[in-house]
Amino acid sequence: MKILKPLFTIVIVLAIYSCKKSDVTLQPTIVGKWNLVSDSTYSFLAAGGTPTPTSHKYTGTPADYYNFTSTGKVYINNNGRIGLDTANYQFTSANMVKIYYQFPTYQQPYVINGVFTITTLTAHSLIMSSTGLTPEGSVSTFLTISR
């Protein structure tokens, strides 16, 4: 009987300790299907020699999405960017993702290499921005997607 009391105490302590919550927290991931909220482009282009600011905002529909796979592919249905459907992506740093794709135009294949900075990444929200220079001027793109 003397051995049962310490054995019972050990079992209770182990049961309580094993029920303790883990300190490990899962980080949000880009992998998965995201619904497009908006796709905005701002440019400061020199049309005819005079720099002119322009902007365009496309609001996503229920059919628009970005589906990032764990194999480095992203499947896109974004009516604001006609011609895109499949692209490759890779992380260049913890908060930078490069999305590159090619699609045909009436003259030649058009290749886009967008390096996006992830400004927000939660379980339900992803906001990315990209700024680049063209021979005509600067162009900035902002993608807001959610799940």
pLDDT tens, 57-111? 889 999 999 999 999 999 888 876 655 678 888 888 888 898 876 655 445 544 5
CATH number of domain containing 119: 2.40.128.110
CA 71 to chain centre: 14
**Residue 3 placed within a domain:** no
Question: Does the pLDDT of residue 126 top 90, yes or no?
Answer: yes
Mean pLDDT value across the chain: 77
What proportion of the chain, given as a percentage, has pLDDT over 90? Answer: 26
Question: Three-class SS of residue 130?
Answer: strand
Place of tokens 């294949």: 109
Residue 52: Cβ within 10 Å count: 12
What pLDDT does 26 receive?
Answer: 63
**Residue 7 placed within a domain:** no
Taking the C-alpha atoms of residue 54 and residue 131, their distance in angstroms, rounded to an integer, is 14
Q: Which of 21-25, 27-31, 121-125 has the highest mean pLDDT?
A: 121-125
Lowest-pLDDT range of 42-51, 63-72, 124-133, 134-143: 42-51
In the chain, count H helices and then E strands: 1, 9
Query: Encoding tokens for residue 125?
Result: 């929200």
What pLDDT does 59 receive?
Answer: 92
Lowest-pLDDT range of 52-56, 60-64, 66-70, 117-121: 52-56
Query: Encoding tokens for residue 93?
Result: 């740093």
| pTM for the predicted model, two decimal places | 0.69
**Residue 89 placed within a domain:** yes
Question: Does the pLDDT of residue 45 top 60, yes or no?
Answer: yes
Question: Three-class SS of residue 17?
Answer: helix
**Residue 11 placed within a domain:** no
User: How many domains, the chain?
Assistant: 1
**Residue 16 placed within a domain:** no
**Residue 118 placed within a domain:** yes
What residue numbers bound the domain in which 65 lies?
Answer: 32-146
Buried b (16+ CB within 10 A) or exposed e, 81-97: beebeebebeeeeeeeb
Task: Give the model's confidence band at 33: pLDDT under 50 very low, under 70 low, under 90 confident, else very high.
Answer: very high
Alpha-helix runs per DSSP H in the chain: 4-18
Question: Does the pLDDT of residue 18 top 70, yes or no?
Answer: no
What pLDDT does 61 receive?
Answer: 92
